[in-house]
Structure 1
Amino acid sequence: MRTELRVLDPSVWDDWYGNLLLAFGGVPEAPEKSALWRELTECERSIGAWDGADIVGTASLYSFRLSVPGGGIVPAAGVTMVSVRATHRRRGVLRAMMRRQLDDIRAAGDEPLAVLTASEPDIYGRFGYGAATQTAYAEIDTAKVRLTVPEGTDGVRLRAVPLESAVEACEAVYARRVRARPGMLERTPGWERVPLLDPPGDRKGASPLRCVLAESGGGVTGYARFAVKPDWDLAGPKGEVVLRDLEALDPASYAALWRFLFDLDLTSVIRTGPRPVDDPWQLLVSDIRRCAVRLRDSLYVRLVNVGAALEARTYTTPVETVLEVTDPLCPWNEGRWRLSGDAKGASCERTDDSPDLRLGVRELGAAYLGGVPLTALAGAGRVQEAREGALTEATNAFATPVAPWLPHAF
């Protein structure tokens, strides 16, 4: 049996997307969700695997702009909508699509990175993607956990606004936050709709999504989007606050929004969506043990052009090192690279000099945004130090003052 890869014709998007939904369980999707994903699909960057008249595989790319250490914004290809029909597994369909994507990204020449979120963590490592960020989820027992807020919080005005009318103000706050934390995506037109998706069938008993704005100094300085899931037992109310997202430009606005969520009537739990692992609310609560924080892998990074990718970010401490990189899938990345950089910029060029560190492109992707220390990878046997001291130097240089974080999947 042979399959053929073809660029997606918009006229067959429904069949193509239907194959994707089938791979993820076959449950029908709310029309508003399918409509948004159709609008966002870049058909010219999407492919289908065809077996005769049947679509048996799907894969697509988004044209993203990703924040990287140092506050820079780098073009990145967002790998998405990957599926293989169950009847065609283990026949090389996935590998052919991943191979095609990497070749296409390289041929275009303007995206040194590819990124994705993985349905299953063990799938994409063999294609050079390293788990670069984690995200935190929490279930905060607000009946027993107190919140201590900093001075100035009482000067923040909170205002409940209709969800749709607050989009512009929320996006302005979000846009100012992107460069402050690696791993965040600039939201180009259309993507501001993703955090607003709220089909009734997905609410699981919760209310429609709500929005509260924080205002200070004459402008909007933060927002929280959330729902409330009512619940009662014989002892009284025990509702949940379901937090979709929260961003703020200063500590007072941030704390005021959290205090509002803690104080919502008839609720005793805040269940958060994805949050940064170093989210400051964890230092405002009286008892972190009653917050049930759990971590999950999030954004996977793959360097498509090693030199350009390493030059696109800055480094916390000065670094001068030779990296010997292995990359069987993208042989143009293999070999030795001299990385010279600091907080102002970097260069990364081919060299014949002796290596200081040896690592695979998957490990380089994991460390790229500063969330995974090279020392940890070395401890797992995935990075080898060839020059004494090089591992510590590189680890300190790649580190970032805030944890990288992806706000939402794609």
Structure 2
Amino acid sequence: MPATVHVRELSTDDLDAAWELGRIAFGSDPQRPAQTTATPAGLTRYGAFDDAGRLVGKAVDLHHDQWWSGRAVSAADVAGVAVAPEARGRGVGRALLTALLRGAHERGAAVSALYPTVAAPYRACGWEAAGVLRTVDLATAALPRHRPSADLVVRAGTVADLPAVTDLYERVTRHRNGMLTRRGELYDFFAADRGLPGDGLTLVERDGDLVGYVTWQRGRGYGADSVLTVDEALAVTPEAAREIVGVLGSWASVAPTLRLCPLDGDAVSTVLPLESARDHERDLWMHRPVDVARAVSARGWPAHARGVVDFGLTDALAEWNTGTWRLTVADGAAELTRVDGEADLRLDVRGFALLYAGAARARSVAQAGLLQCAGDADPTALDLLGVGGPAQLLDYF
């Protein structure tokens, strides 16, 4: 291909070529989903074109929000990155991601997450591995038996219950880090004509209030290889969690295997026999700041955390992040302000991503070469950046 590549937002006239490029890259079903012909609000599609005007690469900026300790942070989550076979290894992906980050910065995004098929190209662009979406298999018969609680009502959910399900999801996730809010124009678009998620929705209520739910896919057959796939199981009380697990355990005679994505430390996970879980699938996800100042000021911070630390930052793709910064944390809030001169601690943007997501401590980041310390500077001062705890995702995109 020519040495130059031209990146712009895709128009409706480009969607056929974009679909075909993605179909070839990901081995998708030849039947084209209806949503790929639409141009919904809440996402931006980018395309890279050669001098002849041929589409040779594409990427999508999903206008998500992520929960960070009780506050919604604007995100540019990346999906659908594909490069034509003949154009690979020639800087097309980097050009796409550079344009995507610039566009995301202009619209006010603060952070970005993605699921890579290969990590190296994204590391070269400033993303770093921060967590794993883990899908596990459990023997359904191993789930603890539970006598139904007299003060809880278990019933099948309907479409009318979905707003309450969304509210309960928010109660579980908003105090965590990295979880999608599942609100906004993009979610409204995909939910507009949607019925119930999966094959079934089971609700647990107390005095008419939703305290737990599980969405599930029945799968096929009832033999030894039958699997009940749980899309999501969340609860806000231990009693509701035990009720949900009891319902799932009742499938043992016709679905010997239960498949689900556990959420670390939540009410349902504390009831499951995770010691016997077998990994079915592991999806690595990566994180990076779009705008470091926004990423720090927009999120929630633990009220007990206090401190000040100066550090330098290098970001090759997002030059607005490069420079010397002062991090100040106090009273449940934080800010980054630019300061003059050089700091004794200097972060690569990937090191910032690890610390911000709570995926590593500063000394480990330094050992990885992503934090440079001048003289006898103590790298642990930058642990202040990750005091909110580890991030986690439950959504694949």
Shorter-normalised TM range: 0.7 to 0.9
Counterpart selection for 2:163 from 165, 168, 177: 168
Structure 2 residue aligned with 1:90: 89
Q: 1:172 Cα deviation (Å)?
A: 2.5
What amino acid does structure 2 have at the position aligned with 1:126? A
Distance 2:229 2:192 in 1: 14
Indicate how the Cα distance of structure 1 residues 56 and 50 shifts in structure 2: closer, same or farther if over 3 A, else same.
Answer: same
Give the equivalent residue in structure 2 for 1:395: 383
Q: 1:75 to 1:374 in 2, by over 3 A?
A: same
Counterparts of 1:323 and 1:8 in 2: how far apart (Å)? 38
Aligned residue pairs: how many?
389
Q: Quick one: distance in 1 between partners of 2:122 and 2:130?
A: 13
Report the counterpart of residue 14 of structure 2 in structure 1: 12
1:71 is matched with: 70
Amino acid at match of 2:132: Q
Q: Hey, what's the Cα distance between the residues in 2 that align with 1:148 and 1:376?
A: 43
Amino acid at match of 1:344: G
1:107 corresponds in structure 2 to 106
**Equivalent position amino acid for 2:24 in 1:** L
> SS of the residue aligned with 1:6?
strand
Aligned match of 1:131 = 129
Alignment check: 8 A CA contact 2:228 2:257 kept: yes
1:158 and 2:154 aligned: yes
- Aligned pairs for 1:184-333 within 5 A: 184-187=179-182, 188-191=184-187, 209-231=199-221, 239-264=226-251, 265-272=253-260, 274-286=261-273, 288-293=274-279, 296-316=282-302, 317-333=305-321
Pairwise CA distance, 1:289 = 3.5
Query: Is contact 1:319–1:341 with CA below 8 Å preserved after alignment?
Result: yes
Say whether residues 1:25 and 2:27 are aligned partners.
Answer: yes
CA distance in 1, matches of 2:174, 2:339: 32
Q: Is 1:171–1:192's contact at 8 Å kept on the other side of the alignment? A: no
Alignment partners' CA distance in 2, 1:82 and 1:326: 24
Cα deviation code 1:139-198 (max 9, x no counterpart): 11233x34277x995532211235x45433322322333412211122224526869999
Residue 56 (structure 1) aligned with residue 80 (structure 2): no
8 Å contact from structure 1 (residues 318, 397) kept in 2 = no
Q: For residue 408 of structure 1, report the CA deviation from its aligned partner.
A: 1.2
| 1:356–1:385 CA contact under 8 A, matched in 2 | yes
Asked if structure 2 preserves the Cα contact closer than 8 Å seen for 1:226 and 1:241, the reply is yes
| Change in 2 beyond 3 A, CA 1:190/1:247 | farther
- Alignment-mate amino acid for residue 317 of structure 2: L
CA distance in 1 between partners of 2:301 and 2:377 (Å): 17
Residue in structure 1 matching 2:325, options 331, 337, 341: 337
CA-to-aligned-CA distance 1:315-350 (integer Å, 9 cap, x gap): 432221112212222233222211010351112111
Identity value in percent: 24
- Structure 2 gap ranges (5+): none
Give per-residue Cα distances to partners, 1:44-86, cap 9 Å, x unaligned.
Answer: 8322222324322112212221111x31111111222211111
The SS at the match of 2:256 is strand
Tell me the residue number matched to 1:202.
none
Q: State the partner residue of 1:147.
A: 144
* Aligned with residue 121 of structure 1, among 105, 119, 122: 119
1:354 is displaced (CA, Å) by 5.8
Structural RMSD (CA): 3.3
Q: Secondary structure at the match of 2:383?
A: helix
Cα distance, 1:238–1:118 mapped onto 2, change above 3 Å: closer
1:368 aligns to 2:356 (yes or no)? yes
- The aligned counterpart of 2:371 is 383
* Unmatched 5+ stretches in structure 1: 199-206
Asked if 2 retains the 8 angstrom alpha-carbon contact of 1:226 and 1:245, the reply is: yes
User: In 2, are the aligned partners of 1:321 and 1:390 still within 8 Å (CA)?
Assistant: no
Q: TM-score, normalised by structure 1?
A: 0.83
Query: How far does the alpha carbon of each residue in 1:246-283 deviate from its partner, in whole angstroms, 9 at most, with x for none?
Result: 222322222311221122242222111x3334445443
The separation in 2 between residues aligned to 1:196 and 1:154, in whole angstroms, is 36
Contact kept, 8 Å, 1:132 with 1:367, in 2: the verdict is no
How far does residue 351 in structure 1 lie from its aligned partner after superposition? Answer: 1.8
- Show CA shifts across 1:285-324 (max 9, x none): 45x4321247845442221222222222244322211122
Q: CA shift at 1:368, angstroms?
A: 1.4
Query: How far did 1:211 drift?
Result: 1.2
CA contact (8 A) 1:135 1:277 kept: no
The verdict on how the C-alpha distance between 1:76 and 1:86 changes in structure 2, with shifts beyond 3 A counting, is same
Q: What TM-score do the two structures reach when normalised by structure 2?
A: 0.85
Q: Which amino acid in structure 2 is aligned with residue 283 of structure 1?
A: T
Q: Does 1:182 align with 2:177?
A: yes
Residues in 2 aligned to 1:292 and 1:192: alpha-carbon distance in whole angstroms: 35
Within 1, Cα distance between the matches of 2:330 and 2:62?
A: 30
Q: Please tell me the residue identity of whatever aligns with 2:151.
A: G
Residues 62 and 77, structure 2, Cα contact 8 Å, conserved in 1: yes
